[in-house]
Amino acid sequence: MKPVFIALDFIDAPTALKFLEPFKDVKPLAVKVGMELFYREGSSIIKQLREQNIDVFLDLKLHDIPHTVQQAAKQIGQLDVQFTTVHSLGGSEMINAARHGLDEGAKKAGVNAPQLLAVTQLTSTSEEQLHDEELVHVSMAESVSHLAKTASQNGADGVISSALENELIHQAVSNDFKCINPGIRLPSNNVDDQKRVVTPQKASELRTSGIVVGRSITQSNDPVQTYKNIYNAVNGGIK
Ligand code: C5P
């Protein structure tokens, strides 16, 4: 089944946990904890979510020298989270170091190692920025496929990508390399600050491996029903 990660973009644990109360009997349930919540609450929020059997994607986008990333990943590996992220621009050695750190941490804690996802180019980076600021002289598509390939060769299980890039990435790497897609909106939603959005149904057609949904669920009038509708749309449209 393809997970729908609810992005818990909340300022603190009480707010996030209160939001999750009505989801008490909803299974499966998966959430994404990002920098905002993690920097405030640290590993205690992860522990509280895991105690409720909620799958956790800890999205910290590590990017530093390989040794530092390995040590950080070793800490993350002990948290019993199911997914985590690094920036592939940190390079092959750094991605490898992250993989090793996660495996070491998980072994130490006696839990399963998280799947490692790599960010290729941030979706906020424009083709113009890529050329003028980063002095990268290949196209965005070429850069994204190259970084995805590098990530896959160094222990990553997948990438975070726009659903519109899934085909490109599957072609560059393989069909079972995971493409987890944010930038999801329901047909009735405001697009907010996202530029290229797709519906859950469209993400499914574009062979998503799982989606990240924030405001379409968190700001809905009925978050539980909206989550269920989205989950069903991504997993084959069961009503
Ligand atoms: O509210 P919305 O559905 O736009 O939230 C999407 C979530 O996915 C946010 O937590 C955002 O930081 C994250 N994200 C994204 N685009 C990326 C990577 C992560 O929107 N390329």
What average pLDDT does the chain have?
95
CA nearest ligand 1 atom 21, residue = 123
Atom of ligand 1 lying closest to residue 192 CA: 4
Q: Which pLDDT score, from 0 to 100, does residue 124 have?
A: 87
pLDDT tens for each residue of 160-213: 999 999 999 999 999 999 999 999 999 888 777 777 789 999 999 999 999 999
Atom of ligand 1 lying closest to residue 9 CA: 10
Q: Which pLDDT score, from 0 to 100, does residue 238 have?
A: 46
CA nearest ligand 1 atom 12, residue = 34
Q: Which pLDDT score, from 0 to 100, does residue 83 have?
A: 98
pLDDT tens for each residue of 50-75: 999 999 999 999 999 999 999 999 99
Atom of ligand 1 lying closest to residue 193 CA: 4
% of the chain residues with pLDDT over 70? 99
The pair of structure tokens assigned to 99 is 């993989």
Q: How many domains does the chain have?
A: 1
* DSSP class per residue in 19-53: HHGGGTT-SS-EEEE-HHHHHHHTHHHHHHHHHTT
- 172-200 burial, b at 16+ Cβ within 10 Å, e below that, comes to bbeeebbbbbbbbbbeeeeeeebeebbbb
- Residues labelled as active-site residues: 61
Q: Which pLDDT score, from 0 to 100, does residue 239 have?
A: 42
Q: Which pLDDT score, from 0 to 100, does residue 178 have?
A: 98
Q: Which of 6-15, 69-78, 131-140, 186-195 has the lowest mean pLDDT?
A: 186-195
Domain assignment of residue 70, given as a range: 4-235
Substitution candidate for ligand 1 out of 6, 212, 219, 234 with most atoms within 8 A of CB: 212
CA nearest ligand 1 atom 5, residue = 214
CATH of the domain at 17: 3.20.20.70
Q: Which pLDDT score, from 0 to 100, does residue 19 have?
A: 98
Beta bridge partners of 12: none
Atom of ligand 1 lying closest to residue 162 CA: 21
In the chain, the N- to C-terminal Cα span, in Å, equals 16
Whole-angstrom CA distances from 100 to 155, 217, 231 are 8, 35, 32
- Between CA 16 and CA 37 the distance in angstroms is 9
Identify the residues whose C-beta falls under 6 Å from ligand 1.
Answer: 7, 9, 34, 122-123, 160, 182-184, 194, 212-216
pTM of the model: 0.95
Distance 193 CA to ligand 1 centre (A): 10
CA nearest ligand 1 atom 10, residue = 7
pLDDT tens for each residue of 205-239: 999 999 999 999 999 999 999 999 999 999 975 44
* DSSP class per residue in 49-113: HHHTT-EEEEEEEE-S-HHHHHHHHHHHHTTT-SEEEEEGGG-HHHHHHHHHHHHHHHHHHTSPP
